[in-house]
Amino acid sequence: MNPLLSIKQFPDYEKIKPEHAVAAIKTLCADSKQAIEHLLDNEPANWTTYERLQAIDDTLSKAWSPVSHLHAVMNTDAWRQAYQACQPIISQYAAEMSQHTGLHRFYCALRDSDAFDQYDEARKKLVNDAIRDFRLSGVNLDDDKKAKYQQLMQKAAELSTTFSNNVLDATQAFHWHSSDATELAGIPDSAKALFKQLAEQNGVKGYWITLDFPSYYPVLTYADNRQLRETLYYAYNTRASDQGPNAGEFDNTAVIEAIMAVRVELSALLGFDHYAALSLANKMADSSDEVIHFLTDLVNKSKPQAQKEYAELQAYAEKHLDLPDLQAWDIAYASEKLKQAEYAISQEQLRDYFPVPKVLDGLFDIVGRLFGVQFEANDNLTKWHKSVSSYTVKNSDGEDIAYFYTDLYARQGKNGGAWMNGAIDKISHAGHQQLPVAYLTCNFIPPVGDEVAYLSHDEVVTLFHEFGHGLHHMLTRVPYSAISGINGVEWDAVELPSQFMENFCFERQVLRSMSAHRHSGEQLPDELFDKLTAAKNYHSALQMLRQLEFSLFDMKVHAEYDTDHPCDVMAVLDEVRQQIAVIPSPDYVRFPMSFSHIFAGGYAAGYFSYKWAEVLSADAFSRFEEEGVYNKAVGRAFKREILERGASRTAMENFVAFRGREPDIAALLRHNGIVTESSV
Ligand code: ZN
């Protein structure tokens, strides 16, 4: 029996093998299509039929979810092949469904039915969103154009996979190896232990450094060896391009051109001026001009302070580090040294205070208090790797409401970064409640030997961030998968709960409760906490500009190119950097070639969402600052108006219901310590 065919609440990861994937996906897509046609032909357009259609989709999505998840976290050749074989089948199915005239007619009939007026706001919004999405998927196109649309969507999916595989291959193609420990002067012991472990895994003695973030980051931040920093910087920033140690081998230049050509064609087909307009059609922001204006406003408010921060860094590096010609590969290093000099605090010093089990307990405690839920380890679920854990979420009556898996540590064959994915959606069908299940994936430095793993404060923030996404998915009360949890939420609002959760990592009581020093067991002392909060906004304007550079680059690439203007992404990047950048970067940098968010993920003409959502999250948290960070009533209101609602209302309606007014940019600038003329 193929274990992917009938997943109820939990996939059985011990039984799922790559060879099951293709057969299951093929069968389920074919069965789903048949079942949908049968319902549309024989059943009335009412909510009961809707729920039956939803159940058909859900069976397929529960099979696809572990396939794409295992491909991302256990990326063996076999999983890669299986995934690549499934992907065209899934994309074609999704494209056909999104253009299905029968389904479109079904939703229009629901909207026009007498019962519609009696629907609650969630059902109404679901139906209207569906009709909008059909329009965006070209349901009104004639048959030739529809076929063209499907071709383009499939090509886009294939190109995305090629793009990320190139990035992964380019990342894995590089390593640096040495037996000479003196070359690693300055690098923290935790990272050196990892390099040693990597060397052992590769059958050699000494230290093995890769371009994975847990290797790259400590070298750039701490290595006294300037040559080593430069070597890593050069390799990292030229990945998958025509430059660098593997120049031309995994080059994404032509892949990006092809991706942009497909996007331009797609948007023209649907009657949009450019891809940015298509991307914004279902976002909170209304137009590319509005977004560019929003970002430029933040650039103007942040740049003077960023220039000051950089000038200070240059002066410090010249005087104290003997680096009169500060280079791109010196920035993180010099920045960390200056930070230590000013605040005598380092992420590595903080790492000794945050053992993973204690951090998780602290996280569960604060979330429990604010939102009235409890977390329990659940050892009954099967896992895909020995370092994975699983949990049950219970409400205040002790009833199960959700489940999640944590997969926290970096390892070979696991995609980098941190993310939350829904494994199972909340739905109700024929009186049966299916509870949501989430994957929380990070790439922290794994435990070494018998010791538990310790997190830097930055990593604690990452964990809270992803947990915020997880809460959005798991605490939803909306029983329709299209709009429950994160599903259907505008992209530019989706980071609200995650960025909101980060704020608690800068609260004294929260940090104390989840810290215990590696040797003394002592909680984070007040003195370190004070330095941590003082250091929080260190170089915040420089960091703000970096994010704004990515966001503007993304928006301009997608807004300025149309069928008459072929895409030259490096030229767009240069133009944006001329407007924004305070820190010079070498000519060989090809950062767009590994910018997976916009070329392989869902952030195309949407990277600005991070900043947009930061405005929302900062402003939402400011209500907690006003009324008390542990204020239960405010916590319950946040849960009720935002976390539980999913996309059953617009993000603006959710926000206004919680905050009592529309969002304001002031809290974000204040939280970042950015002083503007108007706030002086
Ligand atoms: Zn996020």
pLDDT, average across residues 431-441: 94
Over residues 457-461, the mean pLDDT reads: 95
Residue 679 has pLDDT above 50, yes or no: no
Residue 53's SS3 state is helix
Going from the Cα of 499 to the center of ligand 1, the distance in angstroms, rounded, reads 7
| Tens-digit pLDDT profile for residues 547-602 | 999 999 999 999 988 767 777 899 999 999 999 999 999 999 999 999 999 999 88
Give the angle 270-272-277 at the CA atoms, nearest 5°: 125
551 alpha carbon to ligand 1 midpoint, in Å? 15
Distance 342 CA to ligand 1 centre (A): 30
**Per-residue pLDDT, 293:** 92
Give the Å distances, CA to CA, from 103 to 28, 38, 61, 106: 18, 12, 18, 5
- In which band, very low, low, confident or very high, does the pLDDT at 492 lie, cut at 50, 70 and 90? confident
The residue ranking higher by pLDDT, 198 or 286, is 198
Q: Are 371 and 395 in contact (CB under 8 A)?
A: no
Average pLDDT over residues 494-520: 94
**Burial class of residue 24, CB neighbours in 10 A (0-12, 13-18, 19+):** buried
State in Å: Cα 643 to ligand 1 middle. Answer: 15
Q: 3-state secondary structure string, 592-651?
A: HHHCHHHHCCCCCCCCCHHHHHHHHHHHHHHHHHHHCCCCHHHHHHHHHHHHCCCCCCCH
pLDDT in tens, 596-642: 999 998 899 999 988 998 999 999 999 999 999 889 999 999 999 99
| For the chain, the helix, strand and coil percentages under 3-state DSSP, each to the nearest 5 | 60, 5, 35
Q: Give first-to-last CA distance, the chain, whole Å.
A: 68
Res. 422: pLDDT tops 50: yes
Report whether pLDDT(58) > 80: yes
Q: What is the pLDDT of residues 287-300, one digit of tens each?
A: 999 999 999 999 99
Contact 239, 211 (CB under 8 A): yes
Q: Mean pLDDT over residues 230-239, rounded?
A: 98
Dist CA 221 CA 531 (whole Å): 19
How far, rounded to the nearest angstrom, does the alpha carbon of residue 488 sit from its chain's CA centroid?
16
What mean pLDDT comes out for the span 206-213?
A: 96
Name the catalytic one among 459, 466, 502, 549: 466
Distance 498 CA to ligand 1 centre (A): 6
Percent of the chain with pLDDT over 90: 85
Give the 3-state DSSP-derived string for 300-321, with helices as H, strands as E and coil as C: HHHHHHHHHHHHHHHHHHHHHC
pLDDT at residue 678 in the model: 53
Separation of CA 177 and ligand 1 centre (Å): 34
Backbone dihedral region of 223: left (phi > 0), alpha (psi from -120 to 50 degrees) or beta?
beta
Going from the Cα of 128 to the center of ligand 1, the distance in angstroms, rounded, reads 27
- Helical H runs in 321-450? 331-343, 347-351, 356-371
- CA 418 to ligand 1 centroid distance, Å: 8
- How many angstroms from the chain centroid is the CA of residue 568? 26
Look at residues 452, 438, 471 and name the one whose alpha carbon lies nearest to residue 387. Answer: 452
Its pTM surpasses 0.85: no
Q: What is the arithmetic mean of pLDDT over 646-663?
A: 95
Distance CA 483, CA 467 (A): 19
The rounded radius of gyration (Å) of the Cα atoms in the chain is: 25
Long-range contacts of 229-237 (CB under 8 A, 24+ apart): 229/329, 229/330, 229/333, 230/327, 230/329, 231/176, 232/176, 232/329, 233/328, 233/329, 234/329, 234/586, 234/588, 235/174, 235/211, 236/211, 237/328, 237/586, 237/588, 237/589, 237/590, 237/591
Q: What are phi and psi of 422, to 5 degrees?
A: -75, 130
What distance in angstroms lies between residue 465's CA and the mean position of ligand 1's atoms? 6
User: What was the pLDDT predicted at 680?
Assistant: 40
Q: What's residue 378's pLDDT?
A: 96
Q: Indicate the average pLDDT of the chain.
A: 94
- How far apart are the C-alpha atoms of 73 and 59, rounded to whole Å? 22
H/E stretch holding 258 reads helix 253-269
Query: 440-449, 454-463, 526-535: which has the minimum mean pLDDT?
Result: 526-535
466 given a catalytic annotation = yes
Banded pLDDT at 9 (limits 50, 70, 90): confident
